[in-house]
C-alpha cells in the first residue's frame, strides 16, 4: 500500500490547524505516517488519528533542538521517511514547512513542488498556480519518493478515525549543521498569520491612514480573522509589508476573504484567488473586484465595516 508521510508542523506544543488539510490530502492516497519534530507525538496521537494518521513517528536526535537547527530537522525528517519507506512526503506550504521539506528533499534526492493546490497519488500529478493565478499547471512527479507542500487551507480537513500508534526514532542528522538559530523573537501575538487564517479582512488604498486600519482590526477581532492589505495601502505606509496579499505579497486561501476598498487588480487577485468565498465592499459599482466576488456590497467601507462589527458584537452578546 502507498505510504504518504506528513511533516506535522507544530507551534506552542500544538499541531498547526492547516496540517489537518494536508493529512486529508495524504489520506486520499494511502496510509498516512506523521512525523513530529517537537517530541510531543504522544500528546497529538489521538487528535491526528481522528484525521487518518495511522502511525506517528516521534523524531529526535541527540543534543538537537530542531526548532533552532533547520538543517538537522530536514536531515532527520528525511531519515525518518527512509526508515518508514515513504512514497511521498507532504507538509504545509508555510515558511517553516517549505524550509524543512526543501532540506528533506535534498537529503532524499527527491523531486519537490511547493505551494501545490492539489495532488493525485495514483497518477503522481500535482497542480500549481501559474501566471498570477491565470493558469493551473499540472506536473508529473516522476519515479520514486517525491516531496510537496500544500497551500494552507486549500484542502478542507475531513475526519477519518483510525488507530494511531506512536513509534520513536532517535537518529543523528547525517549532514553538517552549519546554521544554528540563536534566538527567536515572537511577533505580536494578537496579529494572526495571514497564510494560516481561515478568515481575512483586507484594506485597500481608501483606508487613507494607518490608524484607520483599527476599524478592520475591530471587525477581525469579532470574526477571528487576520487583517491584510493591498500593495497600494502598503506602499502608502498604512500597513506593513507582512500584511500584503498578492503576487508580491502573501498567497492566501481562506474560507472567507472580505476585500474592503480594493479595485481587484490581477496582482492582488493572484494572491487570494483560491479563497472559498470572496466578499467585496466598494463604492464603485463597476469596480473589477465585483466580477471576481461571490458577494458584493456597493457602499462606503467606513460605514459597512463598523456596522458589521456592531452586528457581530450584538450577536455575541445575544
Ligand X SMILES: Cc1cc2nc3c(=O)[nH]c(=O)nc-3n(C[C@H](O)[C@H](O)[C@H](O)COP(=O)(O)OP(=O)(O)OC[C@H]3O[C@@H](n4cnc5c(N)ncnc54)[C@H](O)[C@@H]3O)c2cc1C
Shortest gap between Cβ of 233 and ligand X (angstroms)?
6
| 301 lines the binding site for ligand X (CB under 6 A) | yes
Q: Give me the residue whose beta carbon is nearest to ligand X.
A: 246
Helix (H) or strand (E) holding 306: helix 301-317
- CB of 289 within 8 A of CB of 265? no
| 132 lines the binding site for ligand X (CB under 6 A) | no
- CB of 101 within 8 A of CB of 149? yes
Among 108, 164, 233, 308, binds ligand X (CB under 6 A): 233
Rounded distance between C-alpha atoms, residue 209 and residue 211, angstroms = 5
Shortest gap between Cβ of 263 and ligand X (angstroms)?
3
Sequence-ordered alpha helix ranges (H) in 153-256: 213-223, 231-235
Shortest gap between Cβ of 117 and ligand X (angstroms)?
18
Of 161 and 248, CB closest to ligand X: 248
| 292 lines the binding site for ligand X (CB under 6 A) | no
Shortest gap between Cβ of 207 and ligand X (angstroms)?
8
Per-residue string for binding with ligand X, 21-60, x by CB under 6 A? ----------------------------------------
Of 30 and 288, CB closest to ligand X: 288
Of 52 and 246, CB closest to ligand X: 246
Per-residue string for binding with ligand X, 187-226, x by CB under 6 A? -----------------xxx--------------------
Among 10, 45, 149, 230, binds ligand X (CB under 6 A): 230
Helix (H) or strand (E) holding 105: helix 95-108
Nearest to 236 by CA among 270, 200, 212, 272: 212
- CB of 276 within 8 A of CB of 254? yes
DSSP codes of every residue in 5-70: EEEE-EETTEE-THHHHHHHHHHTTSEEEEEESSS-HHHHHHHHHTTTEEEEEEEE-TT--TTT-H
Per-residue string for binding with ligand X, 271-290, x by CB under 6 A? x---------xxxx--x---
DSSP codes of every residue in 275-303: -SEEEEEES-TT-GGGGG-SEEEES-HHH
Binding site for ligand X (CB under 6 A): 204-206, 230-233, 244-249, 261-263, 265, 267-268, 271, 281-284, 287, 300-302
Amino acid at each position: 500500500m502507498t505510504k504518504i508521510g506528513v511533516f506535522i508542523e507544530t507551534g506552542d506544543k500544538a499541531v498547526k490547524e492547516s496540517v489537518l488539510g494536508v493529512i486529508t490530502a495524504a489520506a486520499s492516497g494511502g496510509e498516512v505516517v506523521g512525523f513530529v519534530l517537537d517530541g510531543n507525538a504522544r500528546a497529538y496521537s489521538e487528535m491526528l488519528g481522528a484525521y487518518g494518521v495511522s502511525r506517528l513517528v516521534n523524531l529526535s536526535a541527540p543534543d538537537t533542538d530542531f526548532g533552532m537547527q533547520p538543517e538537522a530537522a530536514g536531515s532527520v525528517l528525511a531519515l525518518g521517511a527512509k526508515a518508514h519507506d515513504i512514497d511521498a512526503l507532504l507538509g504545509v506550504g508555510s515558511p517553516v514547512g517549505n524550509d524543512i521539506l526543501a532540506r528533506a528533499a535534498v537529503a532524499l534526492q527527491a523531486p519537490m513542488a511547493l505551494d501545490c493546490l492539489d495532488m493525485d497519488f495514483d497518477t503522481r500529478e500535482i497542480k500549481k498556480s501559474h501566471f498570477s493565478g491565470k493558469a493551473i499547471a499540472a506536473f508529473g512527479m516522476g519515479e520514486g519518493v517525491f516531496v510537496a507542500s500544500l497551500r494552507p487551507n486549500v484542502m478542507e480537513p475531513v475526519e477519518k478515525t483510525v488507530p494511531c500508534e506512536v513509534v520513536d526514532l532517535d537518529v543523528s542528522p547525517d549532514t553538517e549543521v552549519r546554521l544554528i538559530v540563536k534566538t527567536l523573537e515572537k511577533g505580536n501575538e494578537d496579529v494572526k498569520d495571514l497564510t494560516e487564517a481561515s478568515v481575512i479582512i483586507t484594506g485597500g488604498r481608501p483606508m487613507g491612514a494607518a490608524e484607520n486600519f483599527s476599524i478592520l482590526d475591530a471587525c477581525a477581532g469579532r470574526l477571528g480573522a487576520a487583517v491584510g492589505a493591498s500593495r497600494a495601502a502598503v506602499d502608502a505606509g498604512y500597513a506593513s509589508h507582512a500584511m500584503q496579499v498578492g503576487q508580491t505579497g502573501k498567497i492566501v486561501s481562506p474560507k472567507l476573504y472580505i476585500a474592503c476598498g480594493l479595485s481587484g487588480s490581477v496582482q492582488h487577485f493572484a494572491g487570494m484567488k483560491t479563497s472559498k468565498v470572496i466578499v467585496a465592499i466598494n463604492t464603485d459599482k463597476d469596480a473589477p473586484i465585483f466580477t471576481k466576488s461571490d458577494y458584493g456590497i456597493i457602499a462606503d467601507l467606513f460605514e459597512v465595516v463598523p456596522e458589521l462589527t456592531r452586528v457581530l458584537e450584538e450577536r455575541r452578546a445575544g
